[in-house]
Amino acid sequence: MLKIDNLHAEIGGKEILKGLSLELNAGEVHAIMGPNGAGKSTLSYVLGGRPGYEVTAGSVIYNGEDLLAMDPHLRAAAGFFLGFQYPVEIPGVSNVQFLREALNSQRRVRGEDPLTGGEFLKLAKEKAALLKLDMEMLKRFVNVGFSGGEKKRNEMVQMGILDPKLAVLDETDSGLDIDALKVVGEGINAIMRRPDKAVLLITHYQRLLDYVKPDYVHILAAGRIVKSGGADLAHRLEEEGYDEVMAA
Ligand code: ADP
Ligand code: MG
Ligand code: MG
């Protein structure tokens, strides 16, 4: 589904990703862990097509297509979803308006009929219930005044509605209390744990991985994947720390 090969990328002339390679198949959940400043968010921004990030070498193939050559809105329409470490607030636009427009613009690109207001609300209610987010929250402006946990739940509702094939989730667990963590973890499983989907979960902590069990865990340090293993690698990191595990 996703093949990243020898990816080099820079911001403002400074090289951040230095030859990163990674492969994900449909049906798999991969976790990326790594010290602060390793380039984890940079990787997610490059995959999402954020301006200002320049790819200087390497390739990213998504379902047989050159992902880096696609416009960000085409990436989304092709089933690529990016969850942000810091979700944006959009004053003046309600979640319902925002999500219906996002979904329908993706559907148009794919040649599918847009959903009517009624059809969309039915879908939104279903996904909000799954993530235990009050429907009233969806009527409010996007993320404005939301707590950290509410923003993350809201982001998972977005993911449920857009129903992507590949989700890259950057520190979706940051700022979550135990209850919210469980809801978000179970939401990721309910939406994405399917044979035709894949997840790249970027996280600092083992705890989210108790709910969303990864098939593979990778350590990203100084712009490259320096070690890969199974779910046990995350436990070792938690117990021993990065320096010890990377030296082993
Ligand atoms: P992580 O998510 O792993 O903590 P980041 O990808 O956010 O790491 O950052 C990787 C490196 O890139 C850090 O050294 C950071 O300071 C640098 N960096 C991030 N954004 C910018 C920017 N806009 N301009 C210059 N350097 C940046
Ligand atoms: Mg960071
Ligand atoms: Mg980060």
Q: Say if residue 84's pLDDT is above 80.
A: no
| Predicted model pTM | 0.93
The residues that bridge with 18 in the sheet, in sequence order, are: 8
Residues with CB under 6 A from ligand 1: 11-12, 14, 16, 34, 36-42
What is the position in ligand 1's atom list of the atom closest to the CA of 171?
Answer: 2
What is the position in ligand 1's atom list of the atom closest to the CA of 52?
Answer: 23
Separation of 42 CA from ligand 1 center, angstroms? 6
Cα-flanking dihedrals φ and ψ of residue 34, to 5°? 170, 160
Q: Where are the beta strands (DSSP E) in 79-237?
A: 80-83, 90-94, 141-142, 166-170, 198-202, 216-221, 224-229
Q: Per residue in 6-24, pLDDT tens?
A: 999 999 999 999 999 999 9
Kindly identify the ligand whose nearest atom is closest to the C-alpha of 39. 1
Please give the C-alpha separations between residue 91 and each of 94, 98, 120, 127, 157, in angstroms, as whole numbers. Answer: 8, 11, 21, 23, 19
Separation of 34 CA from ligand 3 center, angstroms? 9
Q: Per residue in 224-237, pLDDT tens?
A: 999 999 999 999 99
Q: Provide the residues around ligand 3 (an ion) whose CB is within 5 A.
A: 40-41
Percent of the chain having pLDDT more than 90? 78
Please report the ipTM that was assigned to this predicted complex.
0.95
d(CA 81, CA 94): 20
Instruction: Tell me the domains of the chain and their CATH numbers.
Output: 2-247 (3.40.50.300)
Closest CA to 2 of 183, 207, 218, 157: 218
Long-range contacts of residues 238-242, Cβ cutoff 8 Å, at least 24 apart: 238/205, 238/206, 242/34, 242/35
